[in-house]
Amino acid sequence: MNRKYEVIWAHVAENDLKEIIDYIAIDSPANAFTIFQKIKKKASSLYIMPEGCRIVPELKDQGVMQYRELMASPWRIIFRIAEIKVYVLSVLDSRRNIEDILLKRLVNAD
């Protein structure tokens, strides 16, 4: 039987999602709602087998292995697994430079 995880959204990930939806809603509120549902549904699927998702390649190249991602193309849902919880940490547009975004967040976290 598969282990079930609790999926928890970090504040920054909620803000990421809000910014994505707000931006899309400027041109198409209906499309924004569809994309919101797509991302939330994809993230909620993490309650089963999140360890099957790939490690974030940009971080893996730096030896950081605890962060994984799930694609809801073109968005990347970045998360971390801790015991029986999955923490959704960011929702980022894969067309942007992910390394720069993560570096900026880490520097501003101090």
Q: Is residue 29 part of a domain?
A: yes
Whether 92 has a pLDDT exceeding 90, the answer reads yes
Start-end of H helices in the chain: 11-27, 29-44, 57-60, 98-108
- Please tell me the predicted confidence (pLDDT) of residue 32: 97
Q: Is residue 94 part of a domain?
A: yes
- Amino acid identity, position 62: Q
| Count: domains in the chain | 1
Q: Is residue 1 part of a domain?
A: no
Domain of 30 in residue numbering reads as: 6-108
pLDDT digits (tens, 9 = 90+) for 29-83: 999 999 999 999 999 999 999 999 999 998 888 888 899 999 999 999 999 999 9
- CATH code for the domain in which residue 87 is found: 3.30.2310.20
pLDDT digits (tens, 9 = 90+) for 27-43: 999 999 999 999 999 99
Q: Is residue 23 part of a domain?
A: yes
Q: Is residue 59 part of a domain?
A: yes
Q: What is the pTM of this model?
A: 0.87
Give the list of residues 6+ apart from residue 8 with CB closer than 8 angstroms, or none. Answer: 85, 86, 87, 88
